[in-house]
Amino acid sequence: MREAPHHAVTVAGIAGMVLSAALVAGCGGKAKVTDTGYAGTWTQGNERIRSTLAIVRDGTSWRTRVGVRSADRSFAILSGWDGRGEEDQDGAKTYDLVFRTDTDEATGHLRVTCEGSPADPARKPFHYVDELRVEPGGIKLSAFTVERDGQRFEPDARPRREYEKVSDAVAEPPPEGGGR
């Protein structure tokens, strides 16, 4: 869930999210948006770039799918439910990504860790950890960067992004037993 371009952008199969939005629009209604905790589809961004985060409960753990796409389609981050993903710039893969979601035992908040391995050895690998917090009312989700490439951020200095819930459901839920 990186920000544009401190290397590139934030953290979803975008195709699935677009399909979900199209289905909702085609049905003439709005997607159901209630306080389901973390579960559902969340989005943030602007007219230049949009980030989507899909979250599902899988037994006692959580899974996330991340997608980011620029309006001109020159930049994208896409991941599957298995946590594997990639970052693309101008049609070329720039990073292989691995996302891992777990629960912080001390706070009960979800944490998403991302490891980025560059396709080009001239680029540096990266690592970050974002803490997710559902705000009261259940339709806003705050993502705080708690660590980036070994640098830890104190609570008041943490980079923060706010997502808005767009659906209680996710498009193309994960298959039984894992997978993309």
In a domain, 3, yes or no: no
Q: What is the mean pLDDT of residues 135-164?
A: 93
The answer to whether 81 and 174 have CB atoms below 8 angstroms apart is yes
The pLDDT of residue 31 is 85
In a domain, 172, yes or no: no
Q: What is the CATH number of the domain that holds 36?
A: 2.40.128
Query: Token pair for residue 95?
Result: 């990073």
The answer to whether 2 and 11 have CB atoms below 8 angstroms apart is yes
The 8-class DSSP code of residue 73 comes to S
In three-state secondary structure terms, 38 is coil
pLDDT for 14-53, tens place per residue? 334 433 443 344 445 678 999 999 999 999 999 999 999 9
**CB proximity list for 144: less than 8 A, separation 6 or greater:** 130, 131, 132, 133, 153, 155, 158, 159, 160
In a domain, 94, yes or no: yes
In a domain, 31, yes or no: yes
| pLDDT above 60: residue 13 | no
In a domain, 96, yes or no: yes
The answer to whether 109 and 124 have CB atoms below 8 angstroms apart is no
In a domain, 77, yes or no: yes
In a domain, 65, yes or no: yes
Angle at CA of residue 62, ends 56 and 67, nearest 5°: 60
The pLDDT of residue 8 is 37
| pLDDT above 80: residue 12 | no
- Number of domains composing the chain: 1
The answer to whether 85 and 93 have CB atoms below 8 angstroms apart is no
Range of the domain at 66: 14-167
In a domain, 26, yes or no: yes
d(CA 67, CA 1): 9
Query: Token pair for residue 2?
Result: 């990186």
pLDDT for 79-137, tens place per residue? 999 999 999 999 999 999 999 999 999 999 999 999 999 999 999 999 999 999 999 99
